Amino acid sequence: MRSTIAGDGRMPMKRMRIRMMCGHWAVIDGDRPYREVAPQVRAIESSKCAACRANIVEPHMPRLWAADAAERERAERVRSLTWRRAAVLFKAAPADERGRFRRLFERVGRQTDASWWIAHERDALTVLAAEVGGERLD
C-alpha cells in the first residue's frame, strides 16, 4: 500500500501494516533502511496494542488487596480474565439485558480482595452474575 505524505504529492511513502501479538494492526513508515525498520517491526510483532494493554491493566479498577505481590498478581490475572469473559458476553447480549452486564462490570471492579479472586478462580463470573441477578448459589 503506497500513499503520499500530506502536503507533498511528489514524495511517495511506503506504509507497512504489521500484525501485533493481540491480533490488531499497526501501520508504520517502511520507506527507511532495513536496519532501521526491522527492529521496529520485531518490537511491534511482539507487543500488544495500547487498547489491549489498557484492558489487561484495567487502570479504572481499584488495586487489589493482598498480603504479597505474587498473590496480588495471581488475583489480577483472574480478575482480568473474568473482565474479558464478561465483555464477550456483553457484546453478545441483547440490548435489553445490557443493564445487568453493566452491573456485573461494576461488581468486578468493586471486588478488591485478592483472596476472593483466588478462591473463585474458576467460578468468579458465575458467582458475580448470580449476585447481580439476586440469586444465591448454595
What confidence score (pLDDT) does residue 124 get? 94
Q: Dig out the grid coordinates for 50 from the structure.
A: 495500547
> Tens digit of pLDDT for each residue in 66-84?
889 899 999 989 998 998 8
Q: What are the boundaries of each domain within the chain?
A: 2-49, 58-133
Give every CB contact of residue 104 below 8 A, 6+ residues apart in sequence: 86, 90, 128, 129, 132
pTM for the model: 0.55
> Tens digit of pLDDT for each residue in 19-66?
998 888 999 988 889 899 999 999 999 988 777 766 655 556 778 888
What confidence score (pLDDT) does residue 56 get? 56
